[in-house]
Amino acid sequence: MTGAGPDLPLATEPAAAEPLRRGVEFRDVWFRYSPEHPWALRGVSFTVPFGATVGLVGRNGAGKSTVVKLLCRFYDPTRGAILWDGVDLRDLDPAELRRRIGAVFQDYMEYDLTAAENIALGDVDHRGAPTTDAGRIEAAARRAGAHEAVAALPQGYGTMLTRMFFGPDEGGDAEAGVVLSGGQWQRLALARAVLRDGHDLLILDEPSSGLDAEAEHEIHSSLRAHRAGRTSLLISHRLGSIREADLLVVLEEGQVAERGSHDDLLLLGGIYQRLFDLQAQGYQGAEN
Ligand SMILES: Nc1ncnc2c1ncn2[C@@H]1O[C@H](COP(=O)(O)OP(=O)(O)OP(=O)(O)O)[C@@H](O)[C@H]1O
């Protein structure tokens, strides 16, 4: 992951971020973006055990992305602590912590770089220089299900990507850059996370739109293969795609409202069950 967070107080003698062995724990975490803002997280506690996949679920604004931002240490908890194998994240070097994390963020892309460079950002050396190993970049793209989308661009992996939108008469000019669809961006972002092979924790914060059902299915299948045996935290608005997580944590207004497996939560008959039923009806409606 690139992109430093806001200035955070650094430990005077930060501990080394060791490879994850036991898990990451949120312990009674309270957080607000500033003293003027309401609490975005209110006493959140849960653990992502080593080797397990945890899915975060909840309505818009429930606090899911905030959990991810704190985990990557873009912010520190206002109260409570986040522990990496028992060590407070505040005692670790943030750059080292982030090297242990492979994250795919909502709308997180670098523009005005080529497709290959965008993927290469997943693997930067200690000076921050991205890898130039084309073979590894392509292998990561294949594993993320992104290779075909990239190969189909006007100049393949060398295609410049831009956020500019062209008017209907101007067309897309391959020299000036190509605008990708939401689904294509997401495949690239996933390839970037896959490239960081040594990461200890995979975080996927999925946008609520941009993927059609087929693309979503493909991405989740490649991801499932990739994350086998890895520790993962997944956020998806489509409950069907994260139902197989070992543990689902349901956030509601900044608090953990429910937790358990998909089957447990359906039996519980609470928020998760209502959200799941609503989405199931939506899909049926779309098919009819
Ligand atoms: N940078 C910010 N500054 C101030 N408030 C913020 C900021 N980012 C999020 N919030 C607020 O924090 C709360 C939690 O937002 P968050 O983005 O974590 O929810 P979410 O569950 O990820 O939502 P969504 O499903 O819409 O992505 C919301 O009330 C939101 O308005």
According to the model, what pLDDT value does residue 211 have?
A: 61
Residue 61 CB less than 6 A away from ligand 1 = yes
Residue 37 CB less than 6 A away from ligand 1 = yes
Residue 77 CB less than 6 A away from ligand 1 = no
Q: Residue whose CA is closest, atom 2 of ligand 1?
A: 33
CATH classification code of 1-15+22-100+238-288: 3.40.50.300
ipTM above 0.85, yes or no: yes
- Between the CA of 77 and the centroid of ligand 1 the distance, in Å, is 15
Residue 36 CB less than 6 A away from ligand 1 = no
Residue 249 CB less than 6 A away from ligand 1 = no
Domain ranges, ordered by start, for the chain: 1-15+22-100+238-288
Q: Residue whose CA is closest, atom 24 of ligand 1?
A: 60
Q: Residue whose CA is closest, atom 28 of ligand 1?
A: 61
- Between the CA of 75 and the centroid of ligand 1 the distance, in Å, is 13
For residue 63, the ligand 1 atom closest to its alpha carbon is: 18
According to the model, what pLDDT value does residue 23 have?
A: 96
According to the model, what pLDDT value does residue 146 have?
A: 85
Instruction: In whole angstroms, give the CA distance from residue 140 to residue 273.
Output: 36
Q: Residue whose CA is closest, atom 30 of ligand 1?
A: 61
- Between the CA of 66 and the centroid of ligand 1 the distance, in Å, is 6
According to the model, what pLDDT value does residue 78 have?
A: 96
Residues of the chain with pLDDT under 50: 1-5, 166-172, 174, 285-288
- Between the CA of 63 and the centroid of ligand 1 the distance, in Å, is 6
- Between the CA of 240 and the centroid of ligand 1 the distance, in Å, is 23
Two structure tokens written together for 194: 């896959």
